[in-house]
Amino acid sequence: MTRRPVSARAVGEIAVAVVIVIAVIVTIRILRDSAPQARLPHVGTAAPDSDDPDIVTCERTLPDAEETQQAIDQVEPVGLISSTEVLECPDAFDQQVVVYVGEVIGDVLNRDGGAWLLVNDDDYALEVGPLRGHGDYRGGNSGLAVWLPAPLPDLEPGRGDVRGTVIQVRGRIHRSDAADGGGLTLRALSADTVSILREAQDLDRPVHRAQAVAAVLFALLAAAITLQARRSESRR
Amino acid sequence: MLIRPDRDDLQVIGFYLGKVMVGVGYVLGAPMLVAAVMGDWDDLTAFLLGAGLSISIGRLAERRFATTQQLDWSHGLVTAALSWLLGAALFAVPLDLSGHYGSYVDAYFEAMSGLTATGLTLTQDIDHMSVSVNLLRHITHFLGGQGIIIVMLTGLGSSSGQVSTLYVGEGRDDRILPNVVRTARFIYLVASVYLVVGTIALTLAGLVAGFSPLRSVIHGLNLFMAAFDTGGFATNSTSISYYHSAAIEGVLIVLMVAGALSFLLHYELWRGRRREVLENLEVRTIAVTGLITTSLLLLGLARAGTFTDVGSLFRKGVFSAISAHTSTGFTVNASRMFVTDWGRIAPAALLMALALGGMASSTAGGVKGIRVGLAAKSVSRDVRRAIQPDAAVVAVTYTQRHRRRITDAPVRSAITILVLYVLLFLSGALVGVYYGVPFEQALFESTSASVNGGMSVGVLEPGTPLPMKLTYTAQMWLGRLEFMAVFALLGYGIALVHGRI
Amino acid sequence: MLIRPSDADLRLIAFYLGKALLGMGIMMVPPFLLALVLGEYDSATALGIGIAVAVSVWQFAQWRWHSRAALSWSHGLVIVAASWLFGAAIAAIPLALSGHYASMLDAYFDAMSGLTTSGLAVVQDLDHMSVSMNLLRHMTHFAGGQGIVIVLLTMAASAAGDVSTLYFGEGRDERIVPNVVATARFIYLVAGTWLVAGTAALWVASLVAGFTPLRGLFHAVSLFMAAFDTGGFAPYSPSVSYYHSALIESVLIVLMVAGALSFGIHHAMWRRDPRRVWRDSELRTLGLTTTITIAFTVLGLAYAGTFIDVGPLMRKGVFTVISAHTGTGFGVNAPRLFVTDWGQVAPAVVVVAMALGGMASSTAGGIKAVRVGLTAKSVGRDIRRATQPDAAVVVTTWTQRHRRIVTDQQVRSAVTILVLFLLLYIGGAVVGVYYGFPFDQALFESTSAAASVGLSVGVLGEAPVVLKAVYIAQMWLGRLEFLAVFGLVGYGWALVRGRI
């Protein structure tokens, strides 16, 4: 077999291919950014005490059991808190009674005379609604695991294009909740301390027409090339 | 002397790349169906667009580079390296269109993280992601975990002689059966048995945990793919702590361990040879390293006082250790809590477990048990040689299917790769440090990316500087292909420019 | 199958160990004489006790365990490992008696640090230490440094270094003693020449810097021994920043680099064979890694804004990297400044430089350029092989004196030691973390100890006893490049479990 050098034509083809790929990517960007809007309104709760926790890392000193119990007995409710604050210094919030507002996410895990919830208090939950509705990027999600004792209010969790029920809970934070295998949890003090601030809402997003058209075009292209390939194969 | 690759070489590479791209298009059909059932029209069009694009490019390449030539060793490596790059690029298209990614780079990162079974994520507002897009993320785990090229090509009816080098190129150098296609078939068989059994077990556990039947199946399927392929994506932002269920955690531990076992071991178990499990060098090595890292982790957690009771300590500690050692990356606590609540030793132990990784020729990442075991055996040989009379012949043996004697060549390559991994961890950490991340956290994140682990201490987030995201993407790619294929690609590039005809 | 060592083996080991420990006594003679001259009588008595102990041990070994048996390879390893352990104990005697150490362990730490040419110090109130005792500290560098060169050269035939064939082409079962005589003579010639020239240069530089002649001489001798043996002790607590002299720093750079060059290079230079120097693969590796680490350190310092002017940036940056890379450990700034003023990048690069170390068969510590180079070559070969057609034969070569093909066996031993060093660095860091130090600082200190460098970020100053003991073990392991220690451990194991 003789070795053939790479021709200028092949290099040209590669260049054309690269240009086409870039063009496709640009098209996709445009498509994505031109998605129809459906922004949900601000939930309208009082803002947490501080949005930016000043404690970045927190060193824990181990208290003895007696002191801890005294500290628990004396706690004053600390008011409205955010999940980021708690995660930045879990120890400072251990056993504190707090008020927490957020959106119920995913599923309601009904069991053992109550339910486990994931309750998010990020911007998607409280301010702008699900990301798909507006494309206003606010980072990842942030929330706390919440335990509600029965009877439960009527909850519709947020998924896909739905903003779930936004609830307000008064409860105690357990940094390491033994009953949950050591997880960080917020246990509602009782069923009456849970209130619904806003019912679940659907985004009602219109279909992204331009994307649908582009998709059909690409599908047709693929089908055409495949058919053509089949035909030239059978002819051979 | 370098020989410049000629047109035939490029042709055969292009041809097989085309096949892989067509495969990507077909795979997108699965989430498309789900989107149709759920009525997520925008997602459906996104998948259709992605599939059309992949199949068009793939078919064009197949036609343009049509060849009956066999792949040789270097072709296999280069094709493997490029397939992962291109595959990620194509999967990133529907992900990007879903609107959950700040940029195409983020979507590309996500696709690479999925295909390499890493599990680091840049998804924004994942808690409002549609079921079908979420399914696609987990399918990338399944595909990448089983070896993307091998799945595509054997699935599309290539013959064994054509693709055997690709199998090695993907970092799976243990051929169980003489024929690659039969090996691949066996891998499918194992994977599908686990798929059925694992998904049923997880679904049942989900029902007990309080999910509705449909949601339970969705969670079960996704969790299975992330666990068995030691991936680490999860359907919600809080990973496994979302489930509050010891039963689910228990099933996941079994699946993660099964995923970290090599297919060779699965094969031996399948054939009923239990002795292999007890004697295999790699199994023994991992048992030892697993025990050490888990104990250190528990010690660290106990010392830091993270958990107040022993039950929690063991439940969280053991799950995290296994998740790290199998390079899965599931977490049972918020990732910031590694920094804010776990003290200093426990994260260090996790880091070690991550770096060590699972078994070679499994879906797990990391340095891998066989390399660690060979290195240890070789050191012990040196020690024994040092204390024996000068004339004594010192032979050290290990068992992997057969009893073998340690020779220099495999030890050399094992330790070389080990060193390359360590360099990869450190260089990624330096990039993080450059962007102002504290060293420990930068090292953790860099290691997690390089070993396709997926645990995070919160360094990686949508707002992370672009160069860091690109570094992590490259690390995932390098780590998954275990360097060789990437080196071959680099060498190919150099040879194209500088080589002699 | 393990064979239990016999009485004759132990007797032989003890006999040679006694000879080695006499070296400690000889080392103490110059400071002893100096103490008498300067009238530092307490120091003189302390040193006298040290000399007496060393001589007694030697004489006892001579009398009780006299042996004419030939040394085998494993005996050699055990003797080497044990002589560093016991030698440090004897050197620690006068140090402990000097009253500058809070505990026996601290004195042992400094003795081990000196003998292993590390340069980490836990001495208290160094600035008021007597001149003779200070000289002893620097003498330990010289004794340990020149000692290790001999040991490494003879050990090199082993799996550890694999550079031996270079010099003698002897098998690994050769006796230690006979070839030492030939080599040692040449080593002392080289070291003696450097001693005279280096001390003279430093003396002149210190006179220019403003010292009186006598004090200048004391500083010159001490600095020479610390620099040429890549040790890192310094007569006063601020290390080299005490001198405020660019001239002294430049002379030290030359001496540090000379100390980090292998005996083979010195030999080539002595023979005026520049081609052999230029072509040497290990030297090229060292040059490359040094250039890279200097570049990144300077970048990191510029990025952190530590220095305002380019002059100071280059002066401090280059000196620190060379000090780290050669395993010396002289500092030109206060240790805490690495943490508080150097940003994140520059200290990280310094850690890398420390970890890499100098050349094999030199007094430098760390992984060593030969291992780094061989590993890189082997990876390069793998890459080339991956891109070539299946039938092509791919080889890579390594030039040290002659050009040879790199074999799997060489690479295996090089990467093994490399990995062991990495484990040693990380292992020490984890212990530091356990005692509450931040990981980056713990890693810095641990690397500094294991690579026998001696730079510190201040962890050592607050270290609990266990951590100090770990650093001692690291210095010992790193200095002997594992193999001798493994030999000792294996010997102990064989004593207990071996068959007769």
Min Cα–Cα distance to chain A from B271, Å: 38
CB spacing of B345 vs C348 below 8 angstroms: no
pLDDT by residue (tens digit) across C323-343? 999 999 998 888 888 888 888
Min Cα–Cα distance to chain B from A193, Å: 22
Whole-number Å distance between alpha carbons of B46 and A211: 7
CB contacts under 8 A, C 100-159 vs B, are 158-159
**B434, closest residue in chain C (CA to CA):** C345
| Structure token digits, residue B15 | 């041809």
**Given this model, what pLDDT does residue C274 score?**
86
- Residues A78-104 have a mean pLDDT of 87
The percent of residues in chain A predicted with pLDDT above 70, rounded, is 81
Hey, how many other C-beta atoms are within 10 angstroms of the C-beta on A65? 8
Of C389, C408, C483, the CB nearest to B74: C389
**Given this model, what pLDDT does residue B73 score?**
74
Whole-number Å distance between alpha carbons of A75 and B103: 45
**Given this model, what pLDDT does residue C489 score?**
85
**Given this model, what pLDDT does residue C494 score?**
82
**Given this model, what pLDDT does residue B220 score?**
95
* Whether residue C151 has pLDDT greater than 80: no
C218, C139 contact by CB (below 8 A) = no
Q: What is the pTM of this model?
A: 0.86
Tell me the chain B residues in contact with residue A229 when contact means C-beta distances shorter than 8 Å: 59, 62-63
**Given this model, what pLDDT does residue C175 score?**
34
Nearest to A21 by CA among B15, B24, B53: B53
Tell me the chain B residues in contact with residue A124 when contact means C-beta distances shorter than 8 Å: 125, 127-128
Tell me the chain B residues in contact with residue C392 when contact means C-beta distances shorter than 8 Å: 3
pLDDT by residue (tens digit) across C201-236? 999 999 998 899 999 999 999 999 999 999 889 998
* Whether residue B487 has pLDDT greater than 70: yes
Chain B contact for C212, CB < 8 A? no
The percent of residues in chain A predicted with pLDDT above 90, rounded, is 20
Min Cα–Cα distance to chain B from A44, Å: 20
CB spacing of B389 vs C74 below 8 angstroms: yes
**B378, closest residue in chain C (CA to CA):** C416
In which band, very low, low, confident or very high, does the pLDDT at B148 lie, cut at 50, 70 and 90?
A: low
Mean pLDDT of chain B: 86
Question: What count of residues does chain A have?
Answer: 236
Min Cα–Cα distance to chain B from A46, Å: 22
Whole-number Å distance between alpha carbons of B162 and A233: 20
* Whether residue B354 has pLDDT greater than 80: yes
Tell me the chain A residues in contact with residue B341 when contact means C-beta distances shorter than 8 Å: 60, 90-91, 175, 184
* Whether residue B156 has pLDDT greater than 70: no
- Residues C397-403 have a mean pLDDT of 78
In which band, very low, low, confident or very high, does the pLDDT at C431 lie, cut at 50, 70 and 90?
A: very high
CB contacts under 8 A, B 417-456 vs C, are 418-420, 422, 426, 429-430, 433-434, 436, 438-440, 443
Q: In this predicted structure, which of B148-157, B217-226, C17-26, C268-277 has the lowest mean pLDDT?
A: B148-157
**Given this model, what pLDDT does residue A90 score?**
86
Q: Report the residue of C13, C78, C384, C387 to disrupt the B interface, i.e. the one with the largest count of B CBs within 10 Å.
A: C387
Q: In this predicted structure, which of A202-211, B124-133, C122-131 has the lowest mean pLDDT?
A: A202-211
In which band, very low, low, confident or very high, does the pLDDT at A1 lie, cut at 50, 70 and 90?
A: very low
CB spacing of C379 vs B487 below 8 angstroms: yes
The percent of residues in chain C predicted with pLDDT above 70, rounded, is 91
Tell me the chain C residues in contact with residue B348 when contact means C-beta distances shorter than 8 Å: 430, 433, 439
**B313, closest residue in chain A (CA to CA):** A182
Chain C contact for B490, CB < 8 A? yes
Chain B contact for C292, CB < 8 A? no
**Given this model, what pLDDT does residue B1 score?**
52
Min Cα–Cα distance to chain B from C83, Å: 17
Both ends of chain C: CA-CA distance in Å?
Answer: 11
Q: In this predicted structure, which of B387-396, B463-472, C384-393 has the lowest mean pLDDT?
A: B387-396
Rounded to whole angstroms, what are the CA distances from C183 to A122, B324, C130, C149, C256?
73, 52, 35, 10, 22
Chain B contact for A95, CB < 8 A? no
CB spacing of B439 vs C433 below 8 angstroms: no
* Whether residue A59 has pLDDT greater than 80: no
**Given this model, what pLDDT does residue B174 score?**
52
* Whether residue C52 has pLDDT greater than 70: yes
Tell me the chain C residues in contact with residue B434 when contact means C-beta distances shorter than 8 Å: 303, 344-345
pLDDT by residue (tens digit) across C253-269? 999 999 999 877 888 88
Of C411, C490, C493, the CB nearest to B412: C411
**Given this model, what pLDDT does residue A117 score?**
92
pLDDT by residue (tens digit) across B384-420? 777 666 556 667 777 777 777 877 888 888 888 888 9
Residue A225 DSSP label? H
In which band, very low, low, confident or very high, does the pLDDT at C13 lie, cut at 50, 70 and 90?
A: confident
> Over the range B438-453, which residues count as b (16 or more CB within 10 Å of their CB) and which as e?
bbbbbbbbbbbbbbbb
CB spacing of B434 vs C415 below 8 angstroms: no
**Given this model, what pLDDT does residue C1 score?**
54
Of B72, B392, B412, the CB nearest to C390: B72
CB spacing of B463 vs A219 below 8 angstroms: no
Which residues make Cβ contacts (< 8 Å) with residue C7, sequence separation at least 6? none
**Given this model, what pLDDT does residue B190 score?**
85
- Burial-class residue C328 by CB neighbours within 10 Å (0-12, 13-18, 19+): buried
Residue B241 DSSP label? G
Of B99, B312, B313, the CB nearest to A135: B99
- Residues B176-188 have a mean pLDDT of 71
Whole-number Å distance between alpha carbons of A132 and A37: 8
pLDDT by residue (tens digit) across B46-83? 999 999 999 998 998 888 888 877 777 778 888 888 98
Mean pLDDT of chain A: 80
CB contacts under 8 A, B 334-363 vs C, are 344-345, 348
**What is the ipTM metric for this complex?**
0.82
Q: Report the residue of B351, B412, B418 to disrupt the C interface, i.e. the one with the largest count of C CBs within 10 Å.
A: B412
Chain C contact for B375, CB < 8 A? yes
Whole-number Å distance between alpha carbons of B139 and B233: 10
Chain B contact for C56, CB < 8 A? no
- Residues C57-65 have a mean pLDDT of 87
Min Cα–Cα distance to chain B from A223, Å: 8
Q: What are phi and psi of A143, to 5 degrees?
A: -160, 180
Chain A contact for B441, CB < 8 A? no
Tell me the chain B residues in contact with residue C496 when contact means C-beta distances shorter than 8 Å: none
Nearest to C422 by CA among B377, B419, B413, B354: B419
Of B387, B422, B429, the CB nearest to C491: B387
* Whether residue B171 has pLDDT greater than 70: no
**Given this model, what pLDDT does residue A68 score?**
55
CB spacing of B41 vs A207 below 8 angstroms: yes
Of C383, C415, C436, the CB nearest to B487: C383
Q: What are phi and psi of A195, to 5 degrees?
A: -135, 150
Q: Report the residue of A141, A173, A187, A230 to disrupt the B interface, i.e. the one with the largest count of B CBs within 10 Å.
A: A141
Whole-number Å distance between alpha carbons of B332 and B240: 5
CB contacts under 8 A, C 395-454 vs B, are 407-409, 411-413, 415-416, 418-420, 422, 430, 433-434, 436, 438-440, 443
Of C389, C420, C490, the CB nearest to B72: C389
**Given this model, what pLDDT does residue C178 score?**
44
pLDDT by residue (tens digit) across C94-148? 999 988 998 889 999 999 999 999 999 999 888 889 999 999 999 999 988 887 7
Chain B contact for A146, CB < 8 A? no
**Given this model, what pLDDT does residue B331 score?**
92
**Given this model, what pLDDT does residue C309 score?**
85
pLDDT by residue (tens digit) across A122-146? 888 888 888 888 888 888 889 999 9
Amino acid at B199: T
Q: What are phi and psi of C404, to 5 degrees?
A: -130, 155
* Whether residue A65 has pLDDT greater than 60: no
Mean pLDDT of chain C: 85
Q: Tell whether omega for the bond before A53 is within 30 degrees of 0, i.e. cis.
A: no
Higher pLDDT: B10 or A13? It is: B10
**C375, closest residue in chain B (CA to CA):** B416
The neighbours of chain B, by the rule of 3 or more Cβ pairs under 8 Å, are A, C
Chain B contact for A109, CB < 8 A? yes
The neighbours of chain C, by the rule of 3 or more Cβ pairs under 8 Å, are B
- Burial-class residue C236 by CB neighbours within 10 Å (0-12, 13-18, 19+): middle
Q: In this predicted structure, which of A195-199, C42-46, C63-67, C139-143 has the lowest mean pLDDT?
A: C63-67
* Whether residue C428 has pLDDT greater than 80: yes
In which band, very low, low, confident or very high, does the pLDDT at C179 lie, cut at 50, 70 and 90?
A: low
* Whether residue C171 has pLDDT greater than 60: no
CB spacing of B339 vs A180 below 8 angstroms: no
**Given this model, what pLDDT does residue C157 score?**
41
